[in-house]
Amino acid sequence: MLEDLFQRPRVLRRIRQNPIGSVLEEFVGYLIAHGYRRGTMYQYVFAAEHFGKWLGQRSINREAVVRFLGRHLPSCRCKTPPPRKCGSTIAALNRLLEMLGRDAAMPPRDSFSESLIRRYADHLTQVQGLAPVTVHYRLRYARVMLSSFRVHSPAQLRRWTADQIRRFVARQGRRCCPASGQVIASSIRSFLRFLLLHRLIDRDLAPAVPAFANWRLTSLPDTVSGEELERVVRAIDTTSSIGLRDQAIVLCMVDLGLRASDVAGLELDGLDLAARVMRLRRQKQRETTVVPMNRRLAAAINTYLRRGRPQCQSLALFVVHRAPRGKALTSRGIQGVVRRRAAAAGLGHCIRGTHVIRHSVASRWIQAGATLKEIADLLGHRSIDTTSIYAKVDLTTLAKVALPWPTSREVTP
């Protein structure tokens, strides 16, 4: 494998004589299989070579990578790779750990804060079973809180006061809309309850978090017309494998109203193209539901599987086509596909995320005569109250129950 990337005998001999030379040869094959560009592979192999020279005969694990990145690299004067390319080195060593089936590593800026965040992440995923998007926001504001209070030890947590918490949340809330303020408040309450559960604070500070006024059902959901959704579908160039993938992704949302996380969670063993059904693992409900596909969506997925999807070991339906090729697309990746395709159709100003499509599809269903219960089941809402906002866009039914506007003669003084 090394000969596929390096032709100079001196470079080949130096890499093979490295303490992890056999691992580096396997690493080159891993990078080639995942579609990395030649220039990127050079950087990654030289970074891993530098790491192997420092490592010596010790075993390759996450702790060794952390020590190398945090202690050795900042003060190293070696020219391959220079310390200023620390970001490239981190990426290279994380790919090396992935190849070996070990956890990725990042140099911790604050060991206590990072270890606390890792414990909190385990609690959110393993104990509470929250959706990845929810975990992302809760970890984000927990990090912001720890950074704002400059927490370096457990003793600092015990000195927090209700007034400090109140001022912190209010300061964060001034920068955003009420809905985002509610996300911040709920995230901080969750983190404070976690600290109390693990006895890192002495009293419950969650009640000190102020609430943000944001009345439900006060506005209509943002929607686009059915014709505009079809414009997005027609604007996708299906002559490339990425175009076939993106068309199937967009149709999952336009025809079924799926969330980005639902689309990212689709797996090959959950598809029955002959019966035109798919199984969705809805993380919010912690259950699997069977959803029917129309003929257009089933045909698009079938074409993508036959002509577009790269060969890989991933069970995910939608995967990355560029390096690292074969890696499952995340929710953010799905959102990026929708934004790019909407912009290409000239609708980037009104389709800025995936939920606009979801709202539009639900509004179209209710105007076609579907009941709120049917829409709630298709959209995966846990409560029909969440679906009730779509009743406001059913203008035909609302017109039947609306009272007539009184004329000037009917108004009594």
pLDDT tens for residues 11-69?
888 988 999 988 998 998 888 888 888 888 889 999 999 999 999 888 888 888 888 88
Q: In the prediction, which pLDDT does 82 show?
A: 46
- Residues of the chain with pLDDT > 70, as a percent, come to 84
Contacts of 284 (CB under 8 A, 6+ apart): 131, 380, 382
Chain mean pLDDT for the chain:
84
Region for 214 from its dihedrals, namely left if φ exceeds 0, alpha if ψ lies in -120 to 50, beta otherwise: beta
Dist CA 294 CA 233 (whole Å): 15
Range of weakest confidence among 178-192, 213-227, 294-308, 310-324 = 213-227
pLDDT, one tens digit per residue, over 72-83 is 888 776 655 444
Cα distance from N-terminal residue to C-terminal residue, the chain: 93
* Per-residue pLDDT at 84 exceeds 50: no
Dist CA 38 CA 382 (whole Å): 48
Dist CA 331 CA 335 (whole Å): 6
Contacts of 122 (CB under 8 A, 6+ apart): none
As given in the structure block, the two tokens for residue 106 are 């990042």
Dist CA 340 CA 352 (whole Å): 9
| C-beta atoms surrounding 224 within 10 Å | 18
As given in the structure block, the two tokens for residue 164 are 């400090």
Provide the angle, in degrees to the nearest 10, between the axes of the packed helices 354-367 and 372-379: 150
| C-beta atoms surrounding 1 within 10 Å | 15
Mean pLDDT to the nearest integer, 164-189: 89
In three-state secondary structure terms, 278 is strand
Burial of 352 (0-12, 13-18, 19+ CB in 10 A): middle
pLDDT, one tens digit per residue, over 263-311 is 998 999 999 999 999 998 766 556 678 889 999 999 999 999 999 999 8
